[in-house]
Amino acid sequence: MSSDLALDVRDLKVYYYTYAGVVKAVEGVSFQLRKGETLGLAGESGCGKSTLGFSLMNLVPPPGRIAGGSIYLDGMDIAKMSEEELRRKIRWKKISMVFQGAMNALTPVYKIGDQLAEPLMVHKGLEKNEAIEEAKKILPKVGLDPEIVNRYPHELSGGMKQRVMIAMALVLRPEVVIADEPTTALDVIVQAQILNLLKSLKKEFNISLILISHDLSIMAEVVERLAIMYAGKMVEIGSSDELFADPKHPYTQGLLKSIPKLTEKGLHYIPGTPPDLRNPPQGCRFADRCPFVFDKCRREEPPMFKVGETQYAACWLYE
Amino acid sequence: MTKEFTPQDYVKELGEDDLLAVRDLVKYFPIRRSVIDVIARRRQKFVRAVDHISFDIKKGVIFSLVGESGCGKTTTGMTLVRLYDPTSGHIFFKVDEETRKKLDDISGGRIKFYDGYVDLAQVPSKWMKPLRTKLQIIFQDPYSSLNPAYRIRDILMEPLIIHGIGDSPEERYEIILKALEAVKLVPAEDIANRFPHMLSGGQRQRVNIAKALLLNPSFVVADEPIAMIDVSLRAEVLLSILDLKEKFGVSVLFITHDLTIAYNISDYIGVMYLGKLVELGSAEQIIKNPLHPYTQALVAAIPIPDPKRRHIIKDIRIKGEITSAVNVPPGCRFHPRCVAFDEHPEVQARCKAEEPRLIEVEKGHYVACHLY
Ligand SMILES: Nc1ncnc2c1ncn2[C@@H]1O[C@H](COP(=O)(O)OP(=O)(O)OP(=O)(O)O)[C@@H](O)[C@H]1O
Ligand SMILES: Nc1ncnc2c1ncn2[C@@H]1O[C@H](COP(=O)(O)OP(=O)(O)OP(=O)(O)O)[C@@H](O)[C@H]1O
Ligand code: SF4
Ligand code: SF4
Ligand SMILES: [Mg+2]
Ligand SMILES: [Mg+2]
């Protein structure tokens, strides 16, 4: 693995083993995250974005688990590590995550300071007051007054809670941070402030950032490279500049067209719904909704083809 | 608007195409008092969710209400369709002859009419029934709003039976199929026989629109109807809402916190802040020429799908955090967060003491700020 890579993900498979069948939430996904880069993961609800995020920390909630593939970080394969090793070497220290909706899951009975101190006590072996002092140092970096260590979660606004979650993800100075829908459910103004914050933190801490969002406008404002997922598969990846200017995969084209704009009025959508991940169709998973579908699409699954300078798309149109 | 206005005075000012006129509408919620508050005889406190707002909605238009969480959008919508009783104020609503007769019948002629308008704020709940069909609301969550145990046809049958619409089951079924087709849920027979879980979120929300449409309403409130719908499917719901206006002449109060969507779907936009309307105008005026410092911050925060802007750290001109609707600041309630306030010492005294009223700055464009 070359030294400018933060993560190298190969043929990753993550399944949920439910009574109703195996949900193939991530099916053969490969990508690389460069050091210091911001990569976006987009796609509609249920396409596997959060699952992919969890798996990068090898923290997929049961009944899910990594069913195959590798996640290389500094030459180690996260997908094959033991729990103990993951806890000691990887989670929060190398890779951390701002979980989707977690700002509403802050433990209500503990003060903010205690919650921020915990990872420092567990992972760095600090005493409680040392840990709280350390926590106070990180709060101004996310635009919060250090004095809020004495407050309870219900005394904070949504935007402030999200800043606390971001501070928590940064407190052990990881190299990779995954932010899962960090601005969903926040008001536009707070959303813009959080995005500003992520941009400036990325520079200051020199982290590699994976931003997960269903909102492509937000992606355009933040990420350097964008990956589009559909029904558990990565269908297109490329630099934002290239991908927004000239999307190649029919699904990406549809998604970009669905973004409402201020420059021209118009409402567009992609007819149909994504397939059931317990029983995905043979061939291309987008075939039922694709305006360009032809015979081969329904028979064989398309591999990634190089379609631009930095751009790859999984579609038979580019064979 | 001064307090001495009578309903007749208000109605006299309305135009031929006005469907709904809200005047000085107020909705306060009492805050539950603790035992100690009661013993100490502390004054009852209120959440001033909607605090003296006035605006008109014309026939066959979409009016969007935007603003941050808790500013009173849902409360306004719920009050307009009388799912909440207003604390004070007027909601003049134009009714057709048929509804007027029904209202006369049910009330024994005791409901007052002003030039074809009825003041919804004064109709007692027990006499609201004839108006219920005319006023509909669509909620945010398409999942919990449809009973999972019933087929779509049965869900849609219920309101028809309640309001005695259609003479036979066959006729009612015909009405249902027409409504499903109107929101492009086809083949309608197939959809009618499905259960809610057999539909996508977007399709379910269109069932809700069909349900509202069944009763032939003239006013529909759509409260964040696409917030829980997938991006790729949102437009299919929005297009059905546009059809409400374009094909059926219905007026829609569209509640959203997404200004890009408000711009794309609406004719008019009203911006709310802490229970007040702070700016009002055409969609074009509000988005392209925002005047109120709060609207300016909202518009500056809109994410733009253009990767060339990636390196920009946005300048969002607003201070502090959302203030609560219980302890509303005196004067202009936005002043603790207003950047323009800091930059204009000459208006500060007024901003702190006097509540700004909505004034017309250009044709049809109103703003409540002492700078204008
Ligand atoms: N605990 C679980 N058990 C079973 N299936 C699950 C579980 N968690 C997720 N799934 C399924 O895995 C698929 C991917 O889910 P995931 O949460 O990763 O999607 P997502 O892209 O993050 O969606 P969203 O945009 O709604 O957050 C979905 O089909 C989902 O139903
Ligand atoms: N039934 C109620 N009882 C007491 N207070 C209420 C009630 N409903 C709303 N409120 C309060 O009234 C204010 C306005 O709430 P409302 O739900 O109208 O805001 P909103 O603009 O719709 O917000 P959001 O964007 O979060 O939906 C808030 O302070 C809220 O807490
Ligand atoms: S492979 Fe075929 S069905 Fe799939 S996206 Fe390409 S053209 Fe459409
Ligand atoms: S009235 Fe004063 S405080 Fe209020 S928005 Fe205008 S300038 Fe700002
Ligand atoms: Mg998710
Ligand atoms: Mg609301």
Provide the ipTM: 0.89
Using a CB–CB cutoff of 8 Å, tell me whether A20 touches chain B.
no
The model carries a pTM of 0.93
- Edge-first strand listing for the sheet containing A312-313: A95-98, A176-180, A208-212, A38-42, A225-230, A233-239, A312-313, A305-306
CA B332 to ligand 4: nearest atom = 4
In the predicted model, what is the mean pLDDT of chain A?
A: 92
User: For residue B305, what is the nearest residue in chain A, using CA coordinates?
Assistant: A217
Report CB contact under 8 Å: A191, B257: no
Nearest CA to ligand 2 atom 17: B74
**Which residue reads 């925002």 in tokens?**
B290
pLDDT of residue B69: 87
**pLDDT tens, position by position, B117-149:** 999 999 999 999 999 999 999 988 877 788 999
Q: What is the DSSP letter of A91?
A: B
Domain membership flag for residue A228:
no
Question: What is the helix (H) or strand (E) element at residue B261, kind and residue range?
Answer: helix B259-265
Say what percent of chain B tops pLDDT 70.
Answer: 99
Residue B59's pLDDT is what? 95
The token pair at B227 is: 């917030």
| Closest approach of A172 to chain B, Cα-based (Å) | 26
Task: Give domain status of residue A29, yes or no.
Answer: yes
SS (H, E, C) B8-59: HHHHHCCCCCEEEEEEEEEEEEECCCCHHHHHCCCCCCEEEEEEEEEEEEEC
Asked if residue B182 lies in contact with residue B239, where contact means CB atoms within 8 angstroms, the answer is no
Residues 6+ away with beta carbon under 8 Å from A132: A113, A114, A116, A117, A149
| Contact assignment for A192 to B316 by CB distance below 8 Å | yes
pLDDT in tens, B49-97: 999 999 999 999 999 999 998 899 999 999 999 999 999 999 999 999 9
Mean pLDDT within B197-215:
89
pLDDT of residue B200: 81
Task: In whole angstroms, give the CA distance from residue B278 to residue A244.
Answer: 36
In a domain, A60, yes or no: yes
Q: Is B284 on the interface with A (CB under 8 A)?
A: no
Domain locations in chain B?
290-367
Give the CA count within 13 Å in the CB-facing half-sphere of A253. Answer: 11
B30 touches B46 (CB < 8 A): yes
Domain membership of residue A262 (yes or no) is no
Which conformational region is residue A116 in: left (phi greater than 0), alpha (psi within -120 to 50 degrees), or beta?
A: alpha
Q: Domain of A110?
A: 5-223
A278 falls within a domain: no
The answer on pLDDT for B2 being more than 70 is no
CATH number at residue A124: 3.40.50.300
Query: Cβ A192–B287 below 8 Å, yes or no?
Result: no
Query: Which of A41, A228, A269, A288 to mutate against chain B (most B CBs within 10 Å)?
Result: A269
Q: What is the spatial distance between Cα B183 and Cα B222, in angstroms, rounded to a whole number? A: 15
Residue A288 falls inside a structural domain:
no
Is A283 a member of any domain? no
Ligand 4 midpoint to CA B55 (Å) = 21
> Does the pLDDT of residue B1 top 50, yes or no?
no
Residue A265 lies inside a defined structural domain of this protein: no
Q: How many domains does chain A have?
A: 1
Q: Are B369 and B359 in contact (CB under 8 A)?
A: no
